[in-house]
Every structure is written in structure tokens, then in C-alpha cells.
Structure 1
Amino acid sequence: MSQLLKELEEAKLIAIIRGITYKEGKSTAQALRAGGIRFLEITLNTDGALDMIADAKHQFGEEMRIGAGTVLNLEMAKEAVAAGAEYIVSPNVNEAVIDYGLAQGVEVLPGTFTPTEIVNAYEAGAAAVKVFPIGAMGTSYLKNIRGPLCHIPMMVTGGINTDNIYDYLQAGAFSAGLGGNLCDVDAIKKGDFQTIQDKAEAYIHAIKRGLQHGGESH
């Protein structure tokens, strides 16, 4: 496992920014970092996403790991890496994107749902995969696919909240991606970045509380 993935396994959270303005993105990133978030994913279907990635890298340096999300093809992957993305997250499996990430030394977490997709992505070179949308199936699904595929690190995204995040980690996820439930667009549009910081702190607290009461996740 790479250093970046080890750090993600320790942090356990990726905050996902989507559908906000460049100015809002900067303030949101600041609020997330203040709330304790270390991994930030900026989706490429957000206006000004590449500039957000470049600026966040410059602003936070080693304090945050900045990645690009919704990377659907090779051209988008190239743009993301050029902007400074340290990792790439996709909703789908694109082997050209995985190959490019490997060549550039950039981790790629392709989006998967079925055991076949998970194995194909891993065999194509992805060191970890995203299982999405996990909320449609729940923790029992994750437990079932982790049985024969426990050697493949899986991040879960879609439907994660403070009530269930530790359940997914306990079921075998090594990390979780959080979009609107953390990066609340309504609060962002109102300029209420304290709410974003508070939500970040609440997620981190939920994980720590789970670890204290349930032992280390696996």
C-alpha cells in the first residue's frame, strides 16, 4: 500500500466538493481543514475545478491531500494531474485512467459496484477501489463482498452519514467518501462555513467514538 493510501486509511475520510463556485470552494476547503479533514476531493464536473485543485495544493501544501473526482476518461485524468491532483477518483472503471495514474505515480480509486468490477479494477492496477453507491445496498453487502475480496482495499461512497460511517468501517471499508452530507451545499451557498467545520468535526468524532467503543476497524 502506498504512503498516500496508508494516510487515507488512517484519516478514514475524504471530503467531496461538488457543484459550488471557485470562491465558495476556497472557503469550504478552509472550513474542512479547520474541522480536521485531511483528504479533499474536488470533482471535475464543478466549474473551476482545476483551478480549485491547483490553489488548494498551493494553499495547504502538506496539510491536505488534494484529489480530483468524477474523472471519467484519460483526458480528464491528464488535466487533473497537471493541476496537481495527488489522487484520482472515478465513478467508473476506465483502464486508460488507471494506466495513466500508474505511469504518473498517482493513485486511482475507480468506481466499482459488483465483485467482477472490483476484481477487474484491481487486476488492472488500481491499488484500491471505490464501492459506489454503497448506500443502495448497505453494510451487509460490503461484508459479503469483503469475504472473498478482503485483500482489496475498498472505500465506500454514497449515503454515508454520522450514524452509519463507523458501521461501514467496521464492515471492512478502509475509508469513506462524503459529499453533500458533509459539504452541505445549502450552508455553503449561505456562506455558513462554520456549519461545514462543525460537520467535519462531527464525522471525525463519530469515527473516534466508534473506535473507542468497538475497537479498531479492519
Structure 2
Amino acid sequence: MSTQLSNAIQRVPVPELLSANPVVAVLRAAHASEYAPVIEALVAGGVNNIELTLSTRGVFELLAEICEQFDGRAQIGVGTVTTAPEARQAIASGARFIVTPVTDPEIVDACVQAGIPVFPGGLTPTELHRGWAAGASAVKVFPASQVGAGYLKDLRGPFPQIQVIPSGGVGVAEAIEWIKAGAVAVSVGGPLVGDAFKGGDLSALTERARTLQLAVRAARDEAVSAGN
């Protein structure tokens, strides 16, 4: 994946698959061996951008296998990355994007040099601008529940070009509002995944995924028409 130069900053664009289907499913489980059936259910519902968090045991051990299993059907990324070596290891194992809960320019640089999209996390304008100026593909507003979708308009005042993905406490209603406000995508965890890792009905997860991605796509079309 090539980089592009923007205002003298190297920046890997947001992946086309995420632009077309702006939902990232954030998965946390007791062990990465539990991931595959849940990913299958999400993909069946049209959610094919999947973030596997490093707070789950076994992610690095199984990442290459999972990436191969869903190659061509889902875009597998790794989240909760807090160091540049973790980012490099995830990329070497097949991760298609990297997500962090912090703003660390070394992580951003490692991803840019590898040609992999990166979404560093932050909450304050200083943190978010720091990630964007370092070359982030988009910045992750985290925890998004603390500010709400109106925060994006405030950020766009001083930073009109910044691309934002909210994460943390984002449900269906909040996802729609963020997309309408101009977010490039939304990250959704518990409200989408529900009890899937606790023996819940995977067909119900597929329906939640289908409902969410259709609602978000409709909101995106509305945002584009409104010029957001």
C-alpha cells in the first residue's frame, strides 16, 4: 500500500474497504482462539473491518492464521497497540491496519514506513493534532462517549482536514450521529458484539451487524449530501 504526501507529511490513506463500509468491529475475548466464529458472523452481516485487541491472550500467536483464514473477506487489524515493536510484529503477521489507545509518534512512524494505515488514540485537541501531524491515516477519539459527536465540529474549526474515528461507548445511535457529523468511520465493540463470546446467538450478531452497517452507510450518504 503506497503512501501519499500531504502538507509534507507522509500519510497512508484510510483503506478503501473502510471508506466503503465505515464500521470497525472491536473484538475482545478471553483468548484469540474464540475469534473465528464471531468474525464469520460479523462478515455475514456485512461488517468486514475487524480489530483484534492485544488485551486478548493469544493474538500474536494466531494472527497470521486468522489473517489467512479471512483473506479476501475481511480486513483484519490489531488494536490496543502501545509500542512500535508491537506494531511491527502485528504488521509482520499480516495486520492490515493498526489502532492504538495512545498518541505515540513512534508507532505512527513504524506504520507509515511499512505502508500500513494507523489510527492513534487521543481525546484532547493537543493529542489528536499530534497524531494527525505525525502522519496518522485518521485519529481515534477515545473514549468517544466522553465528548459526543458535536466534538468533531469543534475539532474541525482549527483542524479542518483531520479525519476522525470515534471509539469507546459507541452504539448504533451514537455511530449514526458521528457519521453524520463527518467521522470517516466508527469503532463499535460491546454494543455490536454483545454476548457473542459468552455463548450468545451468532445469528443475532449477524443481524446486529447488518442493522449497524446499513444504518451507518445511510448516515454516511446523508453526511456526503450535507457536505460533512
8 Å CA contact 1:22, 1:49 repeated in 2? yes
Unaligned runs of 5+ in 2: 5-11
CA distance in 2, matches of 1:38, 1:125: 25
1:126-205 residue pairs with structure 2 within 5 A? 126-184=136-194, 186-205=195-214
CA distance in 2, matches of 1:174, 1:211: 8
Unaligned runs of 5+ in 1: none
CA distance in 1, matches of 2:225, 2:78: 29
Moved more, 89-98 or 15-24: 15-24
Q: Which amino acid counterpart does residue 54 of structure 1 have in structure 2?
A: A
Per-residue displacement from partner, 1:79-130 (whole Å, max 9, x unpaired)? 2112211111000011111111111111111001111112111221212111
Q: TM-score, with normalisation over the residues of structure 2?
A: 0.87
Per-residue displacement from partner, 1:134-154 (whole Å, max 9, x unpaired)? 111112222211222120111
CA RMSD of aligned residues (A): 2.0
Kindly indicate whether residue 78 of structure 2 is the aligned counterpart of residue 68 of structure 1.
Answer: yes
Give the aligned partner of residue 98 of structure 2. 88
Q: Which amino acid counterpart does residue 8 of structure 1 have in structure 2?
A: L
Secondary structure of the corresponding residue to residue 163 of structure 1: helix
Give the aligned partner of residue 6 of structure 1. 16
Moved more, 62-71 or 21-30: 21-30
* Number of residue pairs the alignment of both structures matches: 217
Secondary structure of the corresponding residue to residue 24 of structure 1: helix
Q: Taking structure 1 as reference, are residues 209 and 191 closer, same or farther at Cα in structure 2, changes over 3 Å only?
A: same
1:53 CA displacement: 2.6
Give the aligned partner of residue 125 of structure 2. 115
Kindly indicate whether residue 98 of structure 2 is the aligned counterpart of residue 59 of structure 1.
Answer: no
Identity rate, percent: 33
Q: Taking structure 1 as reference, are residues 216 and 197 closer, same or farther at Cα in structure 2, changes over 3 Å only?
A: farther
1:212 CA displacement: 6.5
CA distance in 2, matches of 1:60, 1:42: 13
1:191 CA displacement: 4.5
Kindly indicate whether residue 216 of structure 2 is the aligned counterpart of residue 207 of structure 1.
Answer: yes
8 Å CA contact 1:133, 1:157 repeated in 2? yes
Kindly indicate whether residue 55 of structure 2 is the aligned counterpart of residue 45 of structure 1.
Answer: yes
CA distance in 1, matches of 2:220, 2:115: 32
1:213 CA displacement: 6.3
Secondary structure of the corresponding residue to residue 81 of structure 1: helix
1:162 CA displacement: 1.4
Q: TM-score, with normalisation over the residues of structure 1?
A: 0.91
Residue in structure 1 matching 2:113, options 89, 103, 108: 103
Q: Taking structure 1 as reference, are residues 84 and 213 closer, same or farther at Cα in structure 2, changes over 3 Å only?
A: closer
8 Å CA contact 2:179, 2:219 repeated in 1? no
Q: Taking structure 1 as reference, are residues 189 and 126 closer, same or farther at Cα in structure 2, changes over 3 Å only?
A: same
Q: Taking structure 1 as reference, are residues 214 and 105 closer, same or farther at Cα in structure 2, changes over 3 Å only?
A: closer
CA distance in 1, matches of 2:204, 2:30: 16
Q: Taking structure 1 as reference, are residues 123 and 209 closer, same or farther at Cα in structure 2, changes over 3 Å only?
A: closer
